């Protein structure tokens, strides 16, 4: 029996196009024998701990925040994803460390994958500060993760090096935008339609692509 196709997904919890892609990734897992690895990407690592208003984030960039929200709301509705109005963006670094730990635990037999959807929803639906330790602890425990373990991860920064490694891998792969999907030497950038992701997996499964890098 062939090994699962490995799919790297570079993403960040604070980017709506990554959230938009979550359902499509889950469908891929249902339709194909794929092993998905989330690679955390530093979209806005400079965001302060207490967040930044969207007005400041987009200052000088000729962005209509209301129009942008309406457009994204329509896209999210089409994917059956809830999407609330936000006034601020927040630093996702600690959330990434929590997500990295959760994936490690899932590989060891604990199913903690629910944390990813919980973090996206906390940020995009509830507008919560996912850079705040106590907020993250609350999110994680509601998602069924053990509170004591979560506290250790966030307070002791047990997975700081692991997320540093993800950020370095993003640079090595030349990733500049997310989501980016990499499988079998092929990549797709952006919130691609499901059919494009299907083609990516089919191409990755062809023997002739195993040792190629077609960026």
Residue 39 dihedral angles phi and psi, to the nearest 5°: -115, 120
Q: What is the pLDDT of residues 10-63, one digit of tens each?
A: 999 999 999 999 999 999 999 999 999 999 999 999 999 999 999 999 999 999
Beta strand 180-183 with 186-189: parallel, antiparallel or unpaired? Answer: antiparallel
Instruction: Determine the CATH number of domain 5-209.
Output: 3.40.30.10
Is the pLDDT at 203 greater than 90, yes or no? Answer: yes
Counting beta carbons within 10 angstroms of the beta carbon of residue 15, is it exposed (0 to 12), middle (13 to 18) or buried (19 or more)?
buried
pTM for the whole thing? 0.94
- What's the pLDDT tens digit per position in 129-151? 999 999 999 999 999 999 999 99
């Amino acid at each position: 029996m062939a090994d699962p196709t490995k799919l790297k997904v570079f993403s960040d919890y604070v980017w709506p196009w990554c959230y938009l892609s979550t359902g499509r990734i889950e469908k891929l897992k249902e339709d194909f024998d794929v092993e998905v690895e989330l690679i955390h990407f530093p979209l806005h690592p400079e965001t302060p701990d207490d967040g930044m208003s969207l007005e400041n984030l987009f200052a000088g960039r000729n962005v209509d925040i209301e129009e942008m929200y309406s457009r994204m709301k329509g896209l999210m509705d089409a994917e059956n994803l809830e999407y609330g109005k936000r006034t601020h963006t927040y630093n996702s670094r600690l959330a990434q460390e929590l997500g990295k730990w959760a994936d490690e635990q899932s590989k060891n037999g604990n199913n903690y994958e629910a944390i990813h959807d919980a973090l996206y929803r906390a940020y995009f639906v509830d507008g919560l500060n996912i850079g705040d330790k106590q907020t993250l602890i609350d999110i994680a425990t509601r998602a069924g993760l053990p509170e004591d373990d979560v506290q250790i991860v966030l307070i002791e920064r047990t997975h700081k090096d692991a997320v540093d490694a993800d950020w370095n891998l993003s640079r090595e792969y030349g990733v500049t935008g997310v989501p980016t999907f990499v499988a079998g030497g092929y990549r797709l950038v952006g919130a691609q339609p499901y059919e494009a992701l299907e083609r990516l997996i089919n191409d990755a499964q062809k023997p002739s692509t195993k040792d190629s890098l077609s960026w």
